[in-house]
Amino acid sequence: MKIKRKLQKFKEDYYNSIDIPEEIDDYLMKGVEKGMHEKARKNHKIKKIGISVAASVMLLFTVSINTMPTFANAMHDIPVAGQLVRVLHFSEEPQEGGKITDGSDVEFISLVEKDDKEHIVINFSQDLKEEEFASHYEIDHSEYPHTLDFKISGVREFSAEDEFEKMKDGNMIKDIYRQMTLDDSMVRFSITMDKPFSYQVTEYKEPGQLVVTLEEKQESKEDAIYSIRSESYPHGEKIGIVEEQIFSLDNRRMLKDEDGEFLIEVDQFNSKEKAEEKKNSLTEEYPVVSDFVIEKRGTSDIPKNY
């Protein structure tokens, strides 16, 4: 049969001549090394089945971290199975921690309500197994509107996204959404709150877990701000490219507007004049900013769709 002969020739002349890169051995060894680490980890891992919540609350007191007792008390009923790694304070922003990994899955996110506080619990896995440590995270909060931004690195999957609808049942959570991220080893998502809030991050290991405890703060009268922001784009590559163009601007953030589209905000100012001034000075360095608009927003206002 002719086609089989053709394939045979193709195999000899083409398929078998696919260049095998010289660096393949490095990659093989990296794979083996990663496997060795994994095995060593497994062998030294003492199985802790169902360490009681009471014990983990005890840990909160025994580990010498200056935790606020109110938070410790609130830890009852929270499905924590691991050991405490660190407690991060509201004042240190962005709050970071976790371990640098690759290929993890932000597997599950849930909301536990207790004592007028809401706890966001995040679990990690790799190949359907629980991760020993939380993946590297950065958590930051911002205002206008009240937002908590999560940036989690070394993850390639985001199964927890399926739980987003459920999260909106919380008293304080108005919205939760994933941000477009062009880096495929990073996941970013944001939570928009109805009211001002304070929060605390508690990180656990074995299994890796993050608990973000939210608490309402007294509302103080704040003036509106003037934001320099891009037009709105649907969730997709375009918004990612706009963000790349102003990548070096540290204050930038991605927000969802009232119609569910996305925008990049560069900065916020108290007066319109200041905002205009800044916008003009940025335009030279970042031509894309010339298309940006200035928007006035109050503390809880969701950006409009421009």
Partner 1 sequence: MTIELQVQKAVKGDEDSFVNLIQSRKEKIYRIAFSYVKNKEDALDVVQEATYKAYISIDKLKQPEYFDTWLVKITINTAVNYIRSNKKYVFMEENKEVRDSQYNKDELVEMIDLNNALDDLEQKYKEIIILKSFEGFKFKEISEILGYPLNTVKTKFYRGLKKIKDNLEGGYNCED
Establish if 18 lies at the interface with partner 1 (CB under 8 A). Answer: yes
**CB of 82: closest distance to partner 1 in angstroms?**
22
Given the rule CB under 8 A, which of 17-25, 47-55, 231-239, 291-299 is the region that contacts partner 1? 17-25
**CB of 4: closest distance to partner 1 in angstroms?**
7
Q: Could you tell me if 277 and 235 are in contact, meaning their C-beta atoms sit under 8 angstroms apart?
A: no
Establish if 40 lies at the interface with partner 1 (CB under 8 A). Answer: no
Contacting residue, 92, 184, 223, 250, with partner 1 by CB under 8 A: 184
**CB of 296: closest distance to partner 1 in angstroms?**
37
Establish if 156 lies at the interface with partner 1 (CB under 8 A). Answer: yes
Establish if 182 lies at the interface with partner 1 (CB under 8 A). Answer: no
- 29-39 b/e (C-beta count within 10 Å ≥ 16 → b): eeeeeeeeeee
H helix runs in 112-236, sequence order: 164-167
Establish if 96 lies at the interface with partner 1 (CB under 8 A). Answer: no
Q: Could you tell me if 154 and 97 are in contact, meaning their C-beta atoms sit under 8 angstroms apart?
A: no
Establish if 298 lies at the interface with partner 1 (CB under 8 A). Answer: no
Establish if 92 lies at the interface with partner 1 (CB under 8 A). Answer: no
Establish if 22 lies at the interface with partner 1 (CB under 8 A). Answer: no
Residue 193 CA to residue 195 CA, distance in Å, equals 6
Q: Tell me the C-alpha to C-alpha distance, in Å, between residue 90 and each of 32, 197, 200, 281, 294.
A: 41, 10, 6, 33, 30
Q: Could you tell me if 121 and 110 are in contact, meaning their C-beta atoms sit under 8 angstroms apart?
A: yes
Question: Dihedral sign, CA of 97, 101, 102, 103?
Answer: negative
Establish if 223 lies at the interface with partner 1 (CB under 8 A). Answer: no
- Tell me, by CB under 8 A, how many residues bind partner 1: 38
Count CB-CB contacts under 10 A for residue 218.
Answer: 6
CB-wise, 23 or 250, nearer to partner 1?
23
| Cα 135 versus chain centre, distance | 10
Residue matched to tokens 């830890």? 75
- Judged by the rule CB under 8 A, the positions of this chain that interact with partner 1 are 1-4, 6-11, 13-21, 23-25, 27-32, 34-36, 38-39, 103, 127, 156-157, 184
